[in-house]
Amino acid sequence: MRPRPASKSVTKAPPDSDAIGTLATGPLANRLAAFEAHLDQTLTANAKAPTTLSEAIRYAALSPGKRLRPLFVLTTCEAVGGDWKDALPAAAAVECVHAFSLVHDDLPAMDDDDYRRGRLTTHKKFGEALGILAGDALLAFAFEEMTRLGERGVAAERVLEAVRLLAWASGPEALIAGQALDLAAEGKPATLEIVTAVHERKTGALLGTCMALGALVGGADSSVVETLGQCGVELGVAFQIHDDLLNSGSSLAKLGKRTGTDVARGKATYPGAVGEARARSDAQSLLSNVSASLAGIGARGKLLRHLVQSVAERDR
Percent with pLDDT over 70 in the chain: 87
Q: Are the CB atoms for 248 and 260 separated by under 8 Å?
A: yes
- Residue 291 CB-density burial (10 A; 0-12 exposed, 13-18 middle, 19+ buried): middle
| Banded pLDDT at 15 (limits 50, 70, 90) | very low
Nearest-10 crossing angle of helices 205-217, 156-169: 170
**Residues 141-186: tens digit of each pLDDT:** 999 999 999 999 999 999 999 999 999 999 999 999 999 999 999 8
| Banded pLDDT at 13 (limits 50, 70, 90) | very low
pLDDT at 246: 87
CA nearest to 244, candidates 265, 224, 227: 265
Rounded mean pLDDT, 123-127? 96
| Banded pLDDT at 311 (limits 50, 70, 90) | confident
CA nearest to 146, candidates 202, 81, 82, 73: 73
pLDDT at 11 over 60: no
Rounded mean pLDDT, 248-272? 64
Helices (H) and strands (E) in the chain, counts: 16, 2
- Cα–chain-centroid distance for residue 304? 16
- How far is the C-alpha of 228 from the C-alpha of 80, rounded, in Å? 10
254-275 CB burial, b ≥16 within 10 A, e <16: ebbbbbbbbeebbbbbbbbbbe
Number of alpha carbons in the 13 Å side-chain half-sphere of residue 137: 22
What are the domain boundaries of the chain?
Answer: 27-250+262-313
Helix residue ranges, H only, 15-118: 29-46, 51-62, 68-79, 88-105
CA nearest to 96, candidates 148, 143, 129: 143
At 115, which helix (H) or strand (E)? Answer: strand 115-116
CA nearest to 286, candidates 207, 218, 222, 226: 207
pLDDT at 12 over 50: no
Tell me if residue 211 falls in helix, strand or coil.
helix
pLDDT at 17: 39
Minimum mean pLDDT among 59-63, 80-84, 108-112, 128-132: which range? 108-112
Q: CA dist 71 to 12, 48, 66, 221, 268, Å?
A: 29, 25, 9, 21, 29
Q: What share of the chain is helix, strand, coil (3-state, %, to 5)?
A: 70, 0, 30
pLDDT at 8: 39
Q: Can you give the C-alpha Rg of the chain in angstroms? A: 18
Percent with pLDDT over 90 in the chain: 74
pLDDT at 107 over 60: yes
| Banded pLDDT at 264 (limits 50, 70, 90) | low
**Residues 208-229: tens digit of each pLDDT:** 999 999 999 999 999 999 999 9
Q: Are the CB atoms for 13 and 256 separated by under 8 Å?
A: yes
**Residues 293-303: tens digit of each pLDDT:** 998 888 899 99
**Residues 49-95: tens digit of each pLDDT:** 999 999 999 999 999 888 999 999 999 999 999 999 999 999 999 99
Assign domain 27-250+262-313 to its CATH superfamily. Farnesyl Diphosphate Synthase (1.10.600.10)
Interacting residues of 215 by C-beta distance below 8 A, sequence separation 6+: 76, 77, 79, 80, 224, 225, 228, 229
- Give the chain's mean pLDDT: 88
| Banded pLDDT at 308 (limits 50, 70, 90) | very high
Sign of the C-alpha dihedral computed for residues 216, 243, 37 and 107 taken in this order: positive
- What DSSP string describes 254-279? HHSS-SSHHHHHT---HHHHH-HHHH
pLDDT at 174: 97
